[in-house]
Amino acid sequence: MATNINIHSAIGVDLQSPDLGRFYKRNGHKGRIQPDDRCIWLTRDKEIIAAARLSTIPEHHFSAQRKTVLLRGLWVDKQQRSLGLGSYLLKEICTKQINLDVYLFCFAYEQIAPFYQKHGFKAAADSAPTYLRQKQKDYSSRGNATQLMLYSK
């Protein structure tokens, strides 16, 4: 992986520039950063090259003993793919941004599921909160084939 990479983290309401939103739009991601999302991104020479969002699922949607977080929008710039940046960012999230008291879920497109499996995620359709299972059904009904996955160390 290339050098001179910096990692950044902020809560959506604390983001000081629209650069992250423009990064997502430029790379084809349609989701919007919410005020309570934690955003983690990589830069090289002040240019965003990869980013991810972590959304906390409100407790009223489930009854879990641990906080539940959804990994959303892990994207690498189209010109920077296959350099290990996605792996670097995901490892940062799983080892430094998330602690053991958190369930970390993601919706992985079918073709990307092996990438998440390589980094410790497992299929979780049966063990996920009803709220996330319903979201997956909603995605599927719109033609987005995803696999609901849970990170486990």
Place of tokens 């959506």: 12
Torsion on CA atoms 45, 15, 1, 28, rounded to nearest 10: -100
Q: Look at residue 145 in the predicted model and tell me its pLDDT.
A: 83
Quickly list H helices, the chain: 19-26, 85-92, 113-118, 130-141
Q: What share of the chain is helix, strand, coil (3-state, %, to 5)?
A: 35, 35, 35
How many CB atoms lie under 10 A from the CB of residue 57? 18
- Looking at the DSSP assignment, which residues form a beta bridge with residue 38? 11, 54
Q: Pick from 55, 51, 54, 46: which is nearest to 21 by CA?
A: 51
Place of tokens 């430094």: 96
> Which pLDDT tens digit goes with each residue over 81-95?
889 999 999 999 988
- Domain 5-151 class, CATH top level: alpha beta
- Domain locations in the chain as residue ranges: 5-151
Q: Using an 8 Å Cβ cutoff, are 135 and 100 in contact?
A: no
> Which pLDDT tens digit goes with each residue over 31-74?
778 888 889 999 998 899 999 999 988 776 655 667 888 998 89
